[in-house]
Amino acid sequence: MVTSQKLHFYTFKHADVTRTRVTDSNLGYVWDRVITYLKDLNSFVVFDGIKITKPGLFTFANLWHTQKILNSGKHWYESRFLNVGDIPGRWPNPGKWTLLTYFPEPDRKREGVEFVYNWSFAKDLDFAMYRAVTDSMKAGDRLCFTTVLIPFKHGPHPEVKIKPISYLKSDNYPNGVGVKIVFPKKTILVTARMNLEMEYLPYQTRPRYTYKRGRIGYFWKDAAHRSHRMDTDARWAYAEISNDKINFAFVEATKLLVDQKEIFSSFENSFYTFVSDGKLIHPAREKWECWEDTVKIK
């Protein structure tokens, strides 16, 4: 049995984000896709996280279809669709807009381009740019694919558009993944926690999660090669960091820290507990469903 569901969709000032899930109980995996649209850059960051629920030998591939590849290089492809639709409603794709597909992950996944036969009457040639993994896996194993998509008008040297973009390191991969975009005067971070269950406590209490269990640290260097880190239990986060301010947004978090400075923290409240430790009430922090703000920094 295969089911699909929308987990969330949020729109913020600088970014939109959606998370969807496909569950295949027969083959034994759960596939989450987190798509972030960066409004200021007209670009997309896509995280595909997979959790194995049954042991076995698996091949997972992240496919991006196109009709013509114009240019390619190390981990990037410039492509476009020549036609949209099928006979009799087949229309040429006008203009000079193309799509830059970039795979920023440094790990050793298989990568390439394969011909995909198009069964339509139009007989257009279709190709699939892909990254793939084949491995023997056990229940609970996880893997992730990261893709950046940049629409732009065709021109020389498309590879310069991906120069500021790279993979964002975390202290808990593949549970936490991210992309960083480093400009001379600011850095943009997009992160996603692919393991949504890691925050849960193993015993009955309220709330059932803690910041400590859900926290993931992300690390990067700015244009001046200064080291930084961001810590958060957010299921998704966006941060635009410059010398004097931080624009940020998140989905489901209790805290967000940048360079050990608390940028956001939810209020601490008192909760009834179901744990037999002699305490009826204990302090804890509730998650905020979503939030965005600008914080001045020195």
* pLDDT value at 71 more than 70: yes
- How far are the Cα atoms of 189, 282, 286 from residue 269, in angstroms, in the given order? 30, 8, 8
Contact (CB, 8 A) for 249 and 238: yes
Task: Give the pair of three-digit tokens for residue 130.
Answer: 């892909």
Reported in sequence order, the residue ranges of 67-106 that DSSP labels E, i.e. its strands, are 68-73, 76-80, 83-84, 91-92, 97-102
Domain 1-163 has CATH 3.30.1370.100: no
d(CA 281, CA 275): 10
Sequence spans of domains, the chain: 1-163, 165-298
- What integer pLDDT is reported at residue 275 of this predicted model? 60
**What is the helix (H) or strand (E) element at residue 54, kind and residue range?**
none
pLDDT-derived band at 15, boundaries 50, 70, 90? very high
Structure tokens at 162: 């991906």
Average pLDDT, the chain: 92
Query: Could you say which DSSP state residue 222 is in?
Result: -
pLDDT at 277 over 80: no
Range name among 183-192, 231-240, 281-290 with the lowest pLDDT average: 281-290
* Residue (of 189, 275, 274) closest to 232 by Cα position: 189
- How would DSSP label each residue in 104-161? ---S--EEEEEEE---STT---EEEEEEEEEEEE-TT-EEEEEEEEEEEE--S-GGGG
CA angle centred on 203, ends 202 and 208, rounded to 5°: 85
Q: What is the mean pLDDT of residues 69-94?
A: 86
Task: Report the predicted TM-score, pTM, of the whole model to 2 decimal places.
Answer: 0.93
pLDDT tens-digit series, residues 137-183: 999 999 999 999 999 999 999 999 999 999 999 999 999 999 999 99
Find the range with the poorest average confidence among 86-100, 129-143, 217-231.
86-100
Phi, then psi, of 39 in degrees rounded to 5: -65, -40
pLDDT band for position 122 (cuts 50, 70, 90):
low
Model confidence at 121: pLDDT above 60: no
pLDDT of residue 45: 99
pLDDT of residue 206: 76
Quote the percentage of the chain above a pLDDT of 70.
92
